[in-house]
Structure 1
Amino acid sequence: MKYFKNIIKPALAVLIIGLVFSSCSDNNEDLQIDDSANDAIELARSAEVDAASSSMTDIVTEVFEFDEANPNGRIQPPALPDCVTITVVAQQAFREVTIDFGTEGCLVRGHVLKGQIIFSYTRDIEAQEILITYDLVDFYFDNKNVLGSRTILREKENENGNLQFTHNLDLTVIWSNGVQASRTGTKIREWVEGFGSGIFSDNVFEVSGDWTTTFVNGNSHTYEVLTPLRREVICTYFVSGTVDVQRTNFGGIFDYGNGDCDNQASFIFNNGTEISITLN
């Protein structure tokens, strides 16, 4: 999934945020513009953290489900490219799975991944809940180093009768220029359509939860899903859903629209100003 990736195009973002936050004061005008530019950059970087986090969750859950369905057979999900190598070490009911993207870079659904994701779990086909623990080893997402070691709780059936994954987030992303940000929180993915069909393209998830991104300068971005984010895997972006976004200096509601598979969304600032957004 691409959470808020490049939320606002850089030039447009600087202009819009500068207009929203400019006011009559004794502050230097150039300083206000610079601050607005920094706000736009942080929004984009927070979106990149979202993209990295959701991509890892996609891959881990997909490989887990395929391994569960084929414990003694092929372990390479057909939807992943051949440059991804998957190995399984099985000891009685315990399984450790290594997803290796290599050191040169492997193009996976539009992103270049390097390094390894290693996850483990105790296999029990009758269990209502299974805890998946994962570690990142020299892992890079589009040249950003991602550090983390957390858990995903798989529930066989939630209150709606659907399979559900609860991801406990605790990640750090380091850009090539040394900038870094940390992400903590919880994301819940409910598998609402396509489970068990054996066809990757018909899968639909709904995502809820809340999380915070904190930069080394102390600025933080908090997110709370107000209406579930609907992800149809055949579409690059969420097709609907709303998120409350609060930043150190501003906030508002991010709206993905009414269900169309497109790159159009909107952001409504706390003061009521609404802007159209084209996702990159």
Structure 2
Amino acid sequence: MKKANFLFSALSIIALTFTSCTKEDIASATDNSPVIASASIDAVNELDIQTGTQVSFDHSTAKKTGKSLTGSCAIITMDPVTTTFPKTFYVDFGTGCTSNNITRKGKLKITFSNYVTETGSTMTVERVNYYVNGNKVEGKIVYKNTTATPNVPQWTRTVTDGTFTDAKGDVYLNSGTHTIKQTAGVSTLSLDDNIYEMTEGTHTVTKQNGAKITLTVLKPIIKKYSCDYISQGQLKVEATLLNGVIDYGNGDCDNNGTYTQSGIAFPFTM
């Protein structure tokens, strides 16, 4: 919290040099909390896609994972029960299910139009009264297979009606579309060696008070299936006065990142 307040103060000083802005403009433009919220939103989106992928492979294909992303306390059911597509699964975390130091509660509704490895198939993830580490997460993710070259699987990830309500009650609307490519683990029967890269795309995060930022992939975002967090890559942050870069690190599996503006780096955790 002290780091976030320091960042807010530093950027407020920058804002005061723009005398043509109104007080309302400055308050909205210098609010850096959407930057921090964006990193958490990205982490949750990746986590939920991983969960959907695990459900797909555990119930539909021979490819397996040694790591549980749902935890032994989560209950997975198919409703309605069917042997044909589309197939809908519910991952129920109950009133609290902790796995890999991440606590989730509520449900994920995951619908497959076909196998996620088939070109043209979609995996749709919907949140039902769903919380991650005390933050309420709403909205839909559509993960569509757009593979053109068999040895380079590719998907588009589109988030619509995203709402992220943090533990303090602050609300952030979010949406966007990205291209995802699998760069490792294609030929094996394990998910654990899979590595994914977000190569391009843009999303927006808007706080309830109107503070809005646009984030664009600057350097490919690296997500290892074996890690719960994004471990490498950069996003360009743009707003009225905010103009910096989120850096997810050098590949280590941790929840740390930095936001840099005007040569000053401010660390944060997701």
Partner of 1:116: 107
3-state DSSP of counterpart to 1:90: coil
Q: How has the CA–CA distance of structure 1 residues 173 and 239 changed in structure 2, closer, same or farther, with 3 Å as cutoff? A: closer
Q: How has the CA–CA distance of structure 1 residues 163 and 216 changed in structure 2, closer, same or farther, with 3 Å as cutoff? A: same
- Hey, what's the Cα distance between the residues in 1 that align with 2:245 and 2:268? 15
Partner of 2:246: 254
Partner of 2:156: 166
Partner of 2:74: 84
Structure 2 stretches lacking a partner, 5+ long = none
- Hey, what's the Cα distance between the residues in 1 that align with 2:20 and 2:138? 42
- Hey, what's the Cα distance between the residues in 2 that align with 1:77 and 1:264? 25
Say if 1:87 and 1:99, in contact at 8 Å, map to a contact too.
yes
Shift of 1:225: 0.3
Structure 1 stretches lacking a partner, 5+ long = 1-5
Residue 9 (str. 1) matches residue 18 (str. 2): no
Q: How has the CA–CA distance of structure 1 residues 249 and 160 changed in structure 2, closer, same or farther, with 3 Å as cutoff? A: farther
Counterpart amino acid of residue 222 in structure 1: T
Residue 202 (str. 1) matches residue 193 (str. 2): yes
Q: How has the CA–CA distance of structure 1 residues 87 and 13 changed in structure 2, closer, same or farther, with 3 Å as cutoff? A: same
Candidates 101, 105, 121, aligned match of 2:96:
105
Partner of 1:54: 46
Say if 1:266 and 1:274, in contact at 8 Å, map to a contact too.
no
Partner of 1:242: 234
- Provide TM-score, normalisation by structure 1: 0.77
- Hey, what's the Cα distance between the residues in 1 that align with 2:256 and 2:203? 23
- Hey, what's the Cα distance between the residues in 2 that align with 1:262 and 1:176? 21
Shift of 1:82: 0.3
Candidates 183, 198, 204, aligned match of 1:192:
183
Superposed CA deviations along residues 155-197 of structure 1, whole A, max 9, x for unmatched, are 4x34483222322101112335543221111122212112353
- Hey, what's the Cα distance between the residues in 2 that align with 1:122 and 1:82? 26
- Hey, what's the Cα distance between the residues in 2 that align with 1:154 and 1:115? 27
Say if 2:43 and 2:230, in contact at 8 Å, map to a contact too.
no
Say if 1:136 and 1:148, in contact at 8 Å, map to a contact too.
yes
Residue 23 (str. 1) matches residue 14 (str. 2): no
3-state DSSP of counterpart to 1:249: coil
- Hey, what's the Cα distance between the residues in 2 that align with 1:266 and 1:50? 14
Partner of 2:139: 148
- Hey, what's the Cα distance between the residues in 2 that align with 1:53 and 1:10? 23
Say if 2:76 and 2:91, in contact at 8 Å, map to a contact too.
yes
Shift of 1:223: 0.7
Say if 2:98 and 2:104, in contact at 8 Å, map to a contact too.
yes
Taking only the aligned residue pairs, the percentage that are identical comes to: 24
Please tell me the root mean square deviation across aligned C-alpha atoms, in Å: 3.6
Say if 2:231 and 2:249, in contact at 8 Å, map to a contact too.
yes
3-state DSSP of counterpart to 1:60: helix
Shift of 1:83: 0.9
Residue 138 (str. 1) matches residue 132 (str. 2): no
Q: Which has the higher contact order (CA 8 A, sep 6+)?
A: 2
